[in-house]
Amino acid sequence: MKHLTAIISIILASFFSVSAQEMAKVEVKNLKSKYFSFERPILIYTPQYYDETTESDFDVVYVFDAQDRAHFDEVQSLLHYGVQQPRNDRNYIVVGVSSPSLWDQDYCRNNDFLPVPEQQKMNSPYYGSADKFKKFIKEELMTYINNNYRTSGHTLGIGHSLGASFVLDAVATDNLFDDCIAISPNLGWDNDRFANNLVNMDFSSEKPRFIYITMADEGLNKEDEFPESWRPSWDKVKNFISNQTFPENVVVKTTDFPEYSHNSVVLPAHLLTLREYADYRYSPRFDSTRTYPVHIELTGEGIEGEVYITGNQSALANWNPEGVKMTRINDTTHAIDLNLQLPAEFKFTQGDWDSAIGIYNGDSGNIRISSPEKTRKHYRL
């Protein structure tokens, strides 16, 4: 009886251990900063099978105003369930960045999001630390995430209200994020400062870029708290975007939600913009024409015959299933060295799609290599 109980305990322990590893996780970290006198709570979501897919790297989505947990939960939930089509099952690391409460008497979220004004006189003390906040994100938070998690190097910033103003400006003036989603930003602050910075942004780089800006009924509803002055700056940005010819790699869009208020627009705006973003990242554009040396190995028992690799560029045979033949190292391992544009996407086959080879420790769909610093990969069956 004791022997049977021990066996059952081992089986249950193994089951719960595997289940825990396979589940998505949310960690809470309190980060100290040389720029602020307080620790800042950070939420970090890692997707299902993160621990098992050790050769996968993930885009990082930074969600602001995560002191309101709903903003963070909504984004990570929609990204991994609500907006992706069956074909584009891409996973993300989602980081929730909190700010002090709006009602904090000494320092609040507005201090994080607003820089020192250049033209507009402020009647409130709640502004002026946006530059420090950007330094915290770039030097401390992003460094922590990149050093402790498997990141692809590609980032998305998401904000609402002044958080949206901040992420939009962080892209336009500091290149802090590759992409951004800005929901109901105040573009008219400091005599249209945020609007002007976007209009004057240099879009000529070949670097891929996704920017989506939405607005609700701010300035349209006379009974609302938002003044009509929100509209001219929004119209300025919309007119610029609608009349601009952007490079092929750059996606810039706007959408109006006049039937929603400033706060009620968050869910429908997330649904629309994240769906578009999931489609955009499903077929990523090359970061540049530059190529990088890549070493790829595939190990597994029972591989008989030749093994090929095929993918999203001529060096990978442009998805011809009888692609580029790998070198047989021994009975269990095949390898290849290539010069590839990034991000590279590929699959392993034995000459046709019916014999496509699935892997255990990498992406479930197209396998991806995104970062120039992470180009030696060892996949297992």
Whether the per-residue pLDDT at 9 is higher than 80: the answer is: no
Nearest to 66 by CA among 126, 128, 109, 125: 109
- The 10s digit of each residue's pLDDT in 204-220 is 887 899 999 999 999 89
Instruction: Please compute the mean of the pLDDT values over residues 162-188 and round it to a whole number.
Output: 97
Instruction: Please compute the mean of the pLDDT values over residues 41-45 and round it to a whole number.
Output: 98
CA-to-CA distance for 79 and 98, rounded, in angstroms? Answer: 20
Q: Is residue 322 within 8 Å of residue 349, measured between CB atoms? A: yes
**Domain boundaries defined on the chain:** 21-282, 292-380
CA-to-CA distance for 324 and 335, rounded, in angstroms? Answer: 11
pLDDT of residue 292: 98
Q: Is residue 193 within 8 Å of residue 161, measured between CB atoms? A: no
pLDDT of residue 102: 73
CA-to-CA distance for 107 and 104, rounded, in angstroms? Answer: 6
- The 10s digit of each residue's pLDDT in 301-354 is 878 899 999 999 999 999 999 999 999 999 999 999 999 999 999 999 999 999
Nearest to 157 by CA among 147, 148, 149, 141: 141
DSSP 3-state of 42: strand
Q: Which CATH architecture best describes the domain 21-282?
A: 3-Layer(aba) Sandwich (3.40)
Inter-axis angle of helices 162-174 and 189-199, to 10 degrees? Answer: 40
Compute the mean pLDDT over every residue in the chain, rounded to the nearest whole number.
90
**CATH class belonging to 292-380:** mainly beta
Query: 69-91: b or e for each residue (b if 16 or more CB lie within 10 Å)?
Result: eebbbbbbebbbeebbeeeeebb
pLDDT above 90 as % of the chain: 77
- The 10s digit of each residue's pLDDT in 273-308 is 999 999 999 877 898 899 999 999 999 987 889 999
Nearest to 67 by CA among 105, 37, 36, 97: 97
Give DSSP secondary structure letters for 10-71: HHHHHHHHHHHHHS-EEEEEEE--SS-SS-EEEEEEE-TTTTT-TT--EEEEEEE-TTSHHH
What the block records as the tokens of 161 is 């209200």
What the block records as the tokens of 147 is 């050093």
CA-to-CA distance for 15 and 1, rounded, in angstroms? Answer: 21
Phi, psi of 125 (to 5 degrees): -85, 0
CA-to-CA distance for 137 and 134, rounded, in angstroms? Answer: 5
Instruction: Please compute the mean of the pLDDT values over residues 120-128 and round it to a whole number.
Output: 72
Phi, psi of 367 (to 5 degrees): -75, 140
The reply to whether domains 21-282 and 292-380 share a CATH topology is: no
Burial of 183 (0-12, 13-18, 19+ CB in 10 A): buried
DSSP 3-state of 225: coil
Residue 195's H or E segment, with its range, is helix 189-199
Q: Is residue 117 within 8 Å of residue 129, measured between CB atoms? A: no
Q: Is residue 282 within 8 Å of residue 90, measured between CB atoms? A: yes
Whether the per-residue pLDDT at 146 is higher than 50: the answer is: yes
Nearest to 348 by CA among 315, 376, 314, 306: 306
